A = this chain, B = another copy of it.
Amino acid sequence: MKAAIGVDIGGTSLKFAVVDQEGRVLRERTAATPSHGGANSIMSEMLAGIDSLLADMRASAPDVPIEGIGIGAAGQIDAKDGSVAFAVDTIPGWTGTPIRRLTAERFPALPVYVDNDVNVLALAEKYYGAGKNARHFVCVALGTGIGGAIVQDGAIVHGAYGGAGELGHLSVDFNGPRCSCGNFGCLELYASGSGIHRLLADMFDGLSPPAWELNAAGLLSAWERGDAAAAEVMDVVLGALGSAFASIIHALNPEAIIVGGGMLDRVPALLPAIERATAPRTSPAMWKHVKLLPALSGNRSGVIGAAAQVWHHSP
């Protein structure tokens, strides 16, 4: 048996695991992300977490060789040098952080790979999930924001420096509200947790609010219960998602779109609803060849995909 360290650096938590080549988690630990302390605190916490897992393995499973460290991190990651090419300001100073260099300095005996958090989810899907039988697929993660990853001919599409896959920033309304990326009417403004919050505030502005809480969780539960006002809002959310999914299909002709993220974990009925919104918007020739599939459930996919880089990194 061979194993690797997988690390998932998110805005809320740092997840660590020892994962074997079949994607099984042998050890794991979690720490809160010290975001307030900025990039330096996160890197210290991360290096300490790896250290402790390695020590644990040396003590309890000295016969299992650890072959490398794979890291998935929020933000646009330069997959070649393993640094943060760009990140929003949720983590002060995160942009520019040389994650790979700092990790390799601390653990010089181990190869280190770093990629964007959704790209490593796509690796988990490719080797252990719904992407197993597809050469060309796309992952979409519907959470507080919307992340994406594109796999073409079996390899993650990184683009010029690793920024590719920002599918939450497909504009679905060029006359819509301005997005933090600079564009107008990005998908994320209509169909992410934070976008739904904005949408609800907008739609119920000056009106008496419904009985349910004006956020994504409230909306989704009310919609599942058959609430009429929620259904109206969901027409907008699903219209934006259906249009963006059809755009993705027309642009990339994938065999599958694998959909995951916090929103889908909570409300699985969202996937068939997205499918019903996407089908009539897609050219029949392309629709015939594509499937919408649920992502691996549970929140271990991040560490499993991160570790998979050690054996399956793109050049």
Contacts and interface: CB of A to CB of B under 8 A. Distances in A.
Contact of A170 (B160, B163, B247): B247
Contacts of A66: none
Nearest to A161: B289
Interface in A67-93: 76, 85-86
Interface stretch (A10-18, A175-183, A197-205): A175-183
A133 to B, nearest CB: 12
Interface string A249-275: 011111100000000000000000000
Interface stretch (A99-107, A149-157, A218-226, A305-313): A149-157
Tell me how many chains of this kind the complex includes.
2
A14 to B, nearest CB: 24
B169 A172 contact: no
Nearest to A279: B182
Interface residues of A, number: 56
Given A181-B250, A250-B166, A159 B174 contact: no
A307 B198 CA distance: 52
Contact of A152 (B159, B181, B280): B159
Contact of A285 (B86, B167, B283, B285): B86
A171 interface: yes
A165, A248, A251, A289 — which one has the most chain B CB atoms within 10 A of its CB? A251
A283 B244 CA distance: 19
Nearest to A169: B250
A171 B253 CA distance: 15
Contacts of A38: none
A243 B183 contact: yes
A246 interface: yes
A84 to B, nearest CB: 10
Contacts of A175: 173, 239
A217 interface: no
Interface in A129-151: 135-136, 148, 150
A183 B250 contact: yes
Contacts of A170: 170, 247, 250-251
A210 B254 CA distance: 44
A153 B254 CA distance: 17
A289 B76 CA distance: 13
Given A158-B253, A160-B254, A163-B253, 9 more contacts: A76-B285, A161-B289, A164-B251, A165-B251, A166-B251, A169-B246, A173-B175, A184-B239, A185-B243
